[in-house]
Structure 1
Amino acid sequence: VYAFSHGVIDAGADVVLGHGPHVTRAVEVYKNKFIAYSLGNFCTYGMFSLRGSNGIAPLLQLKLNSKGDFLYADVVSVKQDKINRLTVDENQAAFKKIKVLTDTDFPSHQLKFENNRISLNEN
């Protein structure tokens, strides 16, 4: 999935938004372009389990410059319940999950996670 995402950036994409595993995953900035490896399940139905990571998802508002380079992403964490309702998660579980997974998957990343915003670390 990393090679594929890097490949589409190399081919000209400005942003990659993944979905595959149905759970929120890490993010990366590659060649100044934003990659979200999975945004989880935003809205499900029926027999899907909504426990733990299955019931949370991020809503991202990306800010890019005129060249499509990543500036920042504001994150609103949402959660689902068994009545098929989607609500804002005041605990920001999806934002926290993205940070933990990004720190784990990309230990030398240059991103800052603060106040529900992902931005480039100025250091």
Structure 2
Amino acid sequence: MYFYPAASTPGCTKQACDFRDSLAELNDAGLDVIGISPDKPAKLVKFRDTESLNFPLLSDPDRATLAAWGAFGEKTMYGKKVQGVIRSTFLVDENGKIEVAQYNVRATGHVAKLRRDLSV
């Protein structure tokens, strides 16, 4: 499961397309992908369709899920402290236990690093 700031922005698009392009290998390793952002469902449908994304995108407009997972809060952006989505990735086992929690991940190269770390 990964949390991202906004659909159809350059970094989030790159990250989503990297997950899309790696999905078969991730699935073969027993991993499913779910993306969560504060975007409204209509924007997510457009993003999914435009980028041919092949995994679920969930909407969290009130940011309750983001906050519960520690993926929303204070972060530094362009040298300023702001409240926002903290780009994060979690590996959750079949019992709901968090196996890996990664915060402040980079949009570009993150999926490749994740695959290396997991030997996928």
Do the two structures share a fold, i.e. TM-score over 0.5? no
TM-score with structure 2 setting the length: 0.24
TM-score with structure 1 setting the length: 0.24
Larger RCO (alpha carbons 8 Å, 6+ apart): 2
Which structure carries more helix by proportion? 2
Which structure carries more strand by proportion? 1
When Rg is computed on C-alpha atoms for both structures, the one with the higher figure is 1
